[in-house]
Chain A
Amino acid sequence: DVQLVESGGGLIHPGGSLRLSCAASGFSIFNHYMTWVRQAPGKGLEWVAVIQGGDTTRYADSVKGRFTVSRDTSKNTVYLEMNILRAGDTAVYFCARDGGAGGNFDYWGQGTLVTVSS
């Protein structure tokens, strides 16, 4: 069965850094684009970043220059390195697998909460 499990969230001060992990099982991340989507408390969904074939990456303007998405295919794990965190980055962060059409997401993790507060 396909499974995605995020970890690494927590409480962090503004300006701090955090690395999220997304451990995949039941498929190889080498064969799929992998994406991060976030959801601020009580709000809608916001796409954050994607890592594509050949390790090409794309980012939302709101995180560009501060966040970095990467993957380790030997561990079948995707990462989101988040730097210079702001209060507006507070959200549940989901990782999701691209369904193959280049942008719709057929499997999601349960999410990990990041709270940026002093």
Chain B
Amino acid sequence: IVLTQSPATLSVSPGESATLSCRASQSLSSALAWYKQKPGQAPRLLIYGAATRASGITARISAFGSGTEFTLTISSLQSEDFAVYYCQQYNKWPVTFGQGTRLEIK
């Protein structure tokens, strides 16, 4: 299953909101996760089941979608939010990741 994330890079000012997209080549039901990765660090799970926040994840992060179209929204952007975001499907083995969206400071 191929996951296509858009845009590749998103430039947003602190305090604003950002919406990232992930499209799947076939239906995933709700078996989609989102991760955040900062340089030199391991990825961190943000969302699983397409819309459920992982433990300790801020309510400024929300996600929506099912089937083949998914979105991740981060509101009131803070410095720690600027990173690379990956979607990942686990509906079918092998699990696959999108190519990532880089969220940068405008």
Q: Are A44 and B86 in contact, with the CB atoms below 8 A? A: yes
Q: Are A104 and B88 in contact, with the CB atoms below 8 A? A: yes
Q: A103-B90, A104-B48, A104-B88 are in contact. Are A94 and B42 (CB under 8 A)?
A: yes
Cross-interface CB contact of B44 among A58, A102, A108, cutoff 8 Å? A108
Complex Cα gap A44–B89 (Å): 14
Q: Are B96 and A47 in contact, with the CB atoms below 8 A? A: yes
Q: Which residues from chain A contact B99 at a C-beta distance below 8 Å?
A: 44
Q: Which residues from chain A contact B91 at a C-beta distance below 8 Å?
A: 103
A103, A110, A111: most-surrounded residue (chain B CB, <10 A): A103
Q: Are B42 and A60 in contact, with the CB atoms below 8 A? A: no
Q: Which residue of A lies closest to B88 (CB)?
A: A104
Q: Which residues from chain A contact B41 at a C-beta distance below 8 Å?
A: 110
Interface residues of B in 48-80 (CB under 8 A from A): 48-49, 54-55
Number of interface residues of A (CB under 8 A): 20
B45, B88, B94: most-surrounded residue (chain A CB, <10 A): B94
Q: A101-B31, A103-B31, A104-B33 are in contact. Are A110 and B94 (CB under 8 A)?
A: no
Q: Are A45 and B97 in contact, with the CB atoms below 8 A? A: yes
Q: Are B49 and A103 in contact, with the CB atoms below 8 A? A: no
Q: Which residue of B lies closest to A95 (CB)?
A: B42
A105 on interface, CB distance cutoff 8 Å? yes
CB of B84, distance to nearest CB on chain A (Å)? 8
- B interface, CB within 8 angstroms of A: 31, 33, 35, 37, 41-45, 48-49, 54-55, 86, 88-91, 93-100
- A interface, CB within 8 angstroms of B: 37, 44-47, 58, 60-61, 94, 99, 101-106, 108-111
Sample of 12 more A-B contacts, CB < 8 Å, known A44-B86, A103-B91, A105-B35: A45-B97, A45-B100, A47-B95, A47-B97, A58-B93, A99-B45, A101-B31, A103-B95, A104-B88, A105-B88, A106-B45, A106-B54
